[in-house]
Structure 1
Amino acid sequence: MSDSAFAWMSGAEPIPISVITGFLGSGKTTLLNRLLRDPAMGNCAVLVNEFGEVGIDHLMVQELQENVVLLASGCLCCAVRSDLVDALRLLAIQRLRGEVPPFSRVVIETTGLADPVPVIHTLITDPLLLERFRLDALVTTVDACHGLAQLEDHPEAMKQAVIADRLVLTKLDLQGRDVAALRGRLRAINPGAAILAAGDVGAGDLFVTGAFDPARRNGELLRWIELSGGAGEGHHDAEVRTVCLRADAPLSWEDFSSWLGEVLSAHGPMVLRTKGILDIAGRDRPVIINGVQHVFYPADELLAWPDGPRRSQIVFITRNLAPSVLSRPFRQRFQPTAALPT
């Protein structure tokens, strides 16, 4: 398969990709099965590990290729037989050749024990994929019955919850107890994510967020920064903390990039999520950064500054990292006259 054959839809908008993750037994496959019946999924291509795991036999209406079927809703379902890059490239070629219907969104389901960061890394760093696809949103399912214990006992479950743009509570019909404690825990470790009930959500609630597309949908990012950074360094839940750094004077892009690189080099595994709006010297429009651990989506610009003061705001969600480890060197470097905490 030549690279030139991948040059489909030249000049077209990149197709958004959403990732569904969640711990073992959290109900993400059940959620996906229900969403596959949603007419709003008719323009989607869904990538799964195996058809049998999703249980789509009763939904299948036509086998288009060995690993691609067309469902009654019009949604394509593609079994990933090799790595993710190959699967997406193959699907793109099949679309170009007319072997599958056109699609305008891709949804990827990860396995229950998967660390989603390598998937995200692939989606936002592979040069061929970046030409034709863009990461849109990270959706994590959380078991209402066992979620609290899973967050406590399994690092994978904690990471899946912390990096999410949407948190979907499942099995609420089986939960006789009040889920306020779980909601509170999720809000503490990821204050900017929307928390939704699985039975109430449709495809539009989960997959049209633009969380990684700041130039087109800045409201989602600004809401995340506002909710996450509203208390400065106050959000925390045992090991997980949220810290918002602010600078009133314009930043040098070179200096800030160097500082951020130093942070990730020294504390990368402990920095779980980063989002920010930056006032960069020499630029009229705000610059947006968005990262998961050490992986960052290419920096972009908003069309204009939102209402309110023009200043830089960067939110970090960290694990086992004191807020002062980030805030002190940031202030020393970019706000040398600011009072430092003792």
Structure 2
Amino acid sequence: MRSADLMPVTVLTGFLGSGKTTLLNRLVRQPAMRDALVVINEFGDIGLDHRLVAEGDEHSVVEMSSGCLCCTIRGDLSKSVQQACEALEREGGRPISRMIIETTGLADPAPILHTLMTDHWLAQRFRLDGVICLVDAANGVSTLNAHRESQRQAAIADCLLITKADLVDEPRLARLSERLAEVNPAAEQLQVKHGEVDAARLTARRLPASGNPDRQAEGWLGAAAYVQVSPAAGLAPTPSEASAPLLAPATTSPLSRHGEQIRSFCFSVEAPIAPEVLEDWLDLLMSLLGDKMLRVKAIVNVAGQPQPLALHGVQHIFHPPVPLPAEACADGVSRFVFITSGVAPEAVAQLFDYFQAPHPTKPPQAQ
């Protein structure tokens, strides 16, 4: 089945108290969310949030309350969705048109994306449409500075919804906007009051499909928003450079209580990349640092290929490459966007140089 034929999935995330349930209740009443399957992950033995979400003929709500979706019950996601789809079919209901997954406030969304990409049953039927993260305007800056989970939620989002914007003044909103841009410079920021937002603005943020205009591919990648890192013109690294750590040293930037620092950057390569160089480089990066690679996006000019490829990776796993029209990489420059947990951009570039060089030295080691 082609990617364009798979059902879209929107992952709705955000820290405790950010207003996810209020927003979801508004969304499911809109025509754009008609026939949606809503999966609500609750933490605890007694579920409450699902009772606050409207449920009717046009969509169904599935509650998962046996644990936190991002860690203890990822296997249950496939089972719960499969059972819901089978029940709708038995009861003669309309087939679902999309799925919305609301995570707990403490969930790291990266493993959820990983599950959507790796679970056989889900991957054959669903595709990621986008990650929407809610951030409380009143407490957003302090939450980002104090909690690892909040940083990760914001870092991998395609769209950031600033909720309760009517409760704070403009200077405070500006500080939050700047802080969010540090964590995720490419994500669109929208202010939301009382959970009101047009559902259509939150959809169609997926990986571009073959034949789509090049502008959509550029918007999906958002490379221009990131700090740019380039390889050293294909030169082999020196022994001292090759031993540079892949993990970045601590800085004075705000850290979470776990000592984590979100780093995002764009790595560009001007010449076409040999397929074996691309494969070996990304394989080693993911092997060494998979859990720290929160999200990787790329539009790549592969040597010998008539079309550029779109790549999308989460932690250890990459989505199958998607061929794009030539216009998506008209200048021939491959661009990789890395959203990471403390990975040094310079070391990523050096590792690419290692595979690109004709007589490489020993590659960098994780420290």
For structure 1, which runs of at least 5 residues remain unmatched after alignment?
1-8, 61-69, 337-342
State the match for 2:116 in structure 1: 123
> Which of residues 312, 331, 335 in structure 2 aligns to 1:313?
335
SS in 1 for 2:328: coil
Q: TM-score, normalised by structure 2?
A: 0.77
- The alpha-carbon distance between structure 1 residues 297 and 216, as it changes in their structure 2 partners (threshold 3 A), is farther
For the aligned residues, what is the CA RMSD? 2.8
Q: What is the identity, as a one-letter code, of the residue corresponding to 2:201?
A: D
1:27 and 1:303 mapped to 2: Cα distance? 39
How far residue 220 of structure 1 moved from its aligned partner, in angstroms, is: 4.2
Q: Is the 8 A contact 2:110 2:294 kept in 1?
A: no
For structure 2, which runs of at least 5 residues remain unmatched after alignment?
67-75, 231-250, 255-260, 359-367
State the match for 2:236 in structure 1: none
2:128 and 2:177 mapped to 1: Cα distance? 26
How far residue 98 of structure 1 moved from its aligned partner, in angstroms, is: 4.5
Answering whether residue 146 of structure 2 is matched by residue 162 of structure 1, we say no
Q: Is the 8 A contact 1:274 1:291 kept in 2?
A: yes
1:171 and 1:94 mapped to 2: Cα distance? 37
User: Higher RCO, 1 or 2 (CA under 8 Å, sep at least 6)?
Assistant: 2
State the match for 2:361 in structure 1: none
> Which of residues 53, 61, 64 in structure 2 aligns to 1:80?
64
Q: How many residues align structurally?
A: 315
Answering whether residue 205 of structure 2 is matched by residue 183 of structure 1, we say no
1:182 and 1:220 mapped to 2: Cα distance? 27
Q: What is the identity, as a one-letter code, of the residue corresponding to 1:53?
A: D
Answering whether residue 217 of structure 2 is matched by residue 225 of structure 1, we say no
> Which of residues 114, 133, 136 in structure 2 aligns to 1:140?
133
Equivalent residues in 2 for 1:174-253 (5 A)? Answer: 174-176=167-169, 178=171, 179-199=173-193, 201-210=197-206, 212-215=207-210, 219-228=215-224, 231-233=227-229, 239-253=261-275
What does the per-residue CA deviation read over 1:95-129, in whole Å, with 9 as the maximum and x for residues that have no partner?
Answer: 43354322211111011111112211111111121
Q: Is the 8 A contact 1:274 1:314 kept in 2?
A: yes
State the match for 1:328 in structure 2: 350
1:11 and 1:241 mapped to 2: Cα distance? 30
What does the per-residue CA deviation read over 1:47-82, in whole Å, with 9 as the maximum and x for residues that have no partner?
Answer: 11367314437x44xxxxxxxxx25xx232222367
Give the percent of matched residue pairs that are identical in Structure 1 and Structure 2. Answer: 37
Q: TM-score, normalised by structure 1?
A: 0.82
How far residue 321 of structure 1 moved from its aligned partner, in angstroms, is: 2.4
What does the per-residue CA deviation read over 1:211-258, in whole Å, with 9 as the maximum and x for residues that have no partner?
Answer: x34436564441243445554149x96533322222222222232121
Instruction: Kindly report structure 1 stretches of 4+ aligned residues shifted beyond 6 Å.
Output: 9-12
Q: What is the identity, as a one-letter code, of the residue corresponding to 1:33?
A: N
Farther-moved stretch of structure 1 (218-227 vs 264-273) = 218-227
What does the per-residue CA deviation read over 1:124-162, in whole Å, with 9 as the maximum and x for residues that have no partner?
Answer: 111121111111111111111111111111100000000
How far residue 311 of structure 1 moved from its aligned partner, in angstroms, is: 2.2
SS in 2 for 1:103: coil
State the match for 1:33 in structure 2: 25
SS in 1 for 2:330: coil
1:184 and 1:130 mapped to 2: Cα distance? 36
State the match for 1:91 in structure 2: 84
Q: What is the identity, as a one-letter code, of the residue corresponding to 2:154?
A: A
Q: Is the 8 A contact 1:165 1:193 kept in 2?
A: yes
1:184 and 1:325 mapped to 2: Cα distance? 27
- The alpha-carbon distance between structure 1 residues 11 and 251, as it changes in their structure 2 partners (threshold 3 A), is closer
